[in-house]
């Protein structure tokens, strides 16, 4: 009698960055900034999206003003619904800051609170097209 076993399927492996020989898994993430410009970067698994924007020096105006301390909403990102549904649950402090975010959507999260995982390989996140940054208004008024 022949015994058949189910075939095992392996999860999709993260991309390996061609730029360095690092042993950390690299995940390809696409960022779309306020003006619609798309930047594709490899991010080390376990880093936050805020860390990725800062380390890769992406052109996203005013992003991460509080450096990830949950004191602002400048790292507000909009996710595709299929990705958003898989993210870890939002903590109360993040919800409070999102309430202050301009251009809030049902798939909004703060980049400082989202850790990159292998399953995110190839995802696209967008910065709201318009931002509300009081610092710019204050600077403009003080220069008059």
What is the Cα–Cα distance from 64 to 72, expressed in whole angstroms? Answer: 8
pTM: 0.75
pLDDT surpassing 80 at residue 20: no
Query: pLDDT by residue (tens digit) across 73-121?
Result: 999 999 999 999 999 999 999 999 999 998 999 999 999 999 999 999 9
pLDDT bracket for residue 61 (50, 70, 90): confident
Burial of 126 (0-12, 13-18, 19+ CB in 10 A): buried
**Domains of the chain with bracketed CATH:** 26-131 (3.10.20.30)
| Inter-CA distances, 92 with 70, 89, 96, 97, 99, Å | 11, 10, 6, 9, 11
Query: pLDDT by residue (tens digit) across 23-38?
Result: 579 999 999 999 999 9
What mean pLDDT, rounded, does the chain reach? 82
pLDDT bracket for residue 131 (50, 70, 90): low
């Amino acid at each position: 009698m022949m015994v058949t076993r189910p075939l095992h399927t392996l999860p999709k492996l993260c991309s390996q960055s061609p730029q360095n020989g690092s042993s950390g898994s690299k995940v390809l993430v696409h960022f779309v900034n306020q003006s619609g410009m798309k930047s594709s970067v490899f991010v080390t698994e376990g880093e936050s999206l805020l860390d990725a924007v800062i380390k890769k020096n992406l052109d996203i105006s005013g992003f991460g003003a509080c450096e990830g301390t949950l004191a602002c909403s400048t790292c507000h990102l909009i996710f595709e619904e299929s990705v958003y549904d898989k993210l870890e649950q939002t903590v109360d402090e993040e919800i409070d800051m999102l309430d202050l975010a301009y251009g809030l959507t049902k798939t909004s999260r703060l980049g400082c609170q989202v850790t990159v995982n292998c399953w995110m390989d190839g995802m696209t996140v967008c910065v709201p097209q318009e931002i509300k940054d009081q610092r710019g208004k204050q600077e403009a008024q003080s220069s008059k």
